Structure 1
């Protein structure tokens, strides 16, 4: 049905051909517009008869509300638990019988959907996706069961030092801002969530104007154009998102959570930069040098190789829609925690002051350029990358430009970005035995 409809009318398509270093063929990214005005990016690939469709709605757990923390996360577990005339068992049976992989997930700034199916079952998969997205049931039994699973995970998290550290870190950086709330909610807030709360959230957030779609696999432009209207065409034209204020992560805060465990979990970090900042690519290279490189980073060499203080140590950049931050993480035995923390903070501070060596810069750029192709060696990876590019508003030609942006980074660029990101007094969160 979808192919016949799409053959009659589909929007203009824009194509960007990208040749990645480790692939002989080009990846052609096409922009497709449906008759109803819904756009998607498409990579056709008929190597295997499989279609992957990833989509996102801007507005994730930051839309929950203080007294309803965990709402987006709870809904992510319920969209495939019954919709339309199908209850949970009937819906799940259809997915299983047709070998359709469908899942949903909530992040702080977006709500995600993922579909993967054989071409022979594509029409049925699209029908089920349409039902899940547009007609979720939120039956009492399903809500109670999935809520129970979430609550069980939250209770386990109360004794998990890494979970405690992650939550405490976000709270330390962002306080009462929506980014400071736990995305999964708390036992108190999740226990109080109702089907009416879920319906209200769905009605506010799941709409066409905040929708982004990518598709990869054995599907052409015409069929995808028709599928977009079939799956998403009945959604409201506009979402009703709550405004999320811009916020700067806090510096210099210190938090310790006492937990009787043999190791102390460490998180340090502070303000960073957002994805649209001109210094983001230099900061990305800087992050690789100080802590993002698995075996080559300064922190790995100092904390793991030289002193054996932690099995793993590393840094990451956090790029939310309304804030940027950075985080360094490690875990070590309790009696070595202060030593590890001192080394981490001193090495980060020194890097911010001095920047990279020429050898470090060359090695980082070579790795980041060469490794990029590995993000495009499977349809699911391609879909994930393209959706991220769309969410970050980087443009359809970003894949083509990205490695040149890395190559163009100079030592002075990295020094400037490192001073901006890593130069302040970090906030520190530790979880472990009581401090003396």
Structure 2
């Protein structure tokens, strides 16, 4: 993939690239729908590793959705509410702003061709780990036990769409995402389609996904202390 940003003629850029790639053999992008080896059964567990670090590092997560599963858009929105970059992220408010227990807390998700991952991370004093885990569990349970109000859902959608819009202003990252999407899936990155997927999410969708991904019996915990 080539990326260019600046005062350059598009036609001139095309001529330069055609000259530079004249010896490349043409090939079609991979569809990304191929499957490799069968995934092993997911077995949740809890592991504690002693590292003698100043603070405890805790990750809690679950297997999630692959890139072909449209439920990933639901989890994408919900993950942003829980531990996204905004200061109003629920985990940030519960663990840091209200209780001052953590130095860092966030959550993330990733979708691969055959599986996915959702997890949350926090770093705290070792003696606060149990309390932090209870607070995380409480926030996850809130989303699983009760649908979001129409007001809360609309606010979450507005926020993530605003974040997507701001991210698009970073032309280099946008170009890299565009190229990655075409390389892996054979389709162009479509921001309007992504916005539409976000708008389609309902409160019931989010509760259903929360019950599956945040099921306490399906969560794996890794702690470095």
Fold match (TM-score > 0.5): yes
Deviation at 1:257, TM superposition (A): 0.3
More off after superposition, 373-382 vs 220-229 = 220-229
TM-superposed CA distance for 1:351, in Å, is 1.6
Paired residue for 1:224? Answer: 17
Pairing 1:420–2:212 present: yes
2:7 counterpart (48, 57, 65) = 48
Indicate the residue corresponding to 1:267 in structure 2: 59
In structure 2, the residue matched to 1:289 is 81
The residue aligned with 2:72 is: 280
After superposition, what is the alpha-carbon deviation per residue over 1:360-395, rounded to whole angstroms, capped at 9, x for unaligned? 322221111122222232431222221232245272
1:225 to 1:374, Cα distance in 2 relative to 1, 3 A? farther
1:24-423 residue pairs with structure 2 within 5 A?
A: 47-49=6-8, 220-230=13-23, 232-233=24-25, 244-247=36-39, 250-393=42-185, 395-396=187-188, 398-423=190-215
**1:431 matched residue in structure 2:** 224
1:8-55 deviation per Cα after TM superposition (whole angstroms, max 9, x unaligned): xxxxxxxxxxxxxxxxxxxxxxxxxxxxxxxx7x8875x434xxxxxx
- The separation in 1 between residues aligned to 2:102 and 2:41, in whole angstroms, is 26
What is the TM-score when the length of structure 2 is the normalising length?
0.82
Contact 1:353–1:423 (CA<8 Å) still a contact in 2?
Answer: no
Q: 1:248 to 1:318 in 2, by over 3 A?
A: farther
Count of residues paired in the alignment: 218
**Alpha-carbon separation, structure 1, partners of 2:12 and 2:73:** 33
Long gaps (5+) in structure 1: 1-39, 50-118, 120-216
Deviation at 1:244, TM superposition (A): 3.5
How far has the Cα of 1:322 moved from its partner? 2.1
By how many angstroms is 1:233 displaced?
Answer: 3.5
Partner SS, residue 386 of structure 1? helix
CA contact (8 A) 2:143 2:206 kept: no
Q: Give the TM-score of the pair, scaled to structure 1.
A: 0.45
Deviation of the 1:421 alpha carbon? 2.3
The CA deviation at 1:286 is: 1.1
| Residues in 2 aligned to 1:287 and 1:396: alpha-carbon distance in whole angstroms | 24
Point out which structure has higher relative CO (alpha carbons under 8 A, 6+ apart). Answer: 2
Instruction: Note if contact 2:72-2:111 (Cα within 8 Å) is conserved in structure 1.
Output: no
1:143 aligned partner: none
- Look at both structures and tell me which one has the larger radius of gyration over its CA atoms: 1
Q: Which sections of structure 2, spanning at least 5 residues, go unmatched?
A: none
CA distance in 2, matches of 1:275, 1:391: 14
Q: Distance in 2 between matches of 1:327 and 1:316?
A: 6
How far the C-alpha of 1:418 sits from its partner, in A, is: 2.1
Q: Is the 8 A contact 2:57 2:122 kept in 1?
A: yes
Equivalence for 1:161? none
Aligned CA-pair RMSD: 3.0
Distance 1:219 1:355 in 2: 54
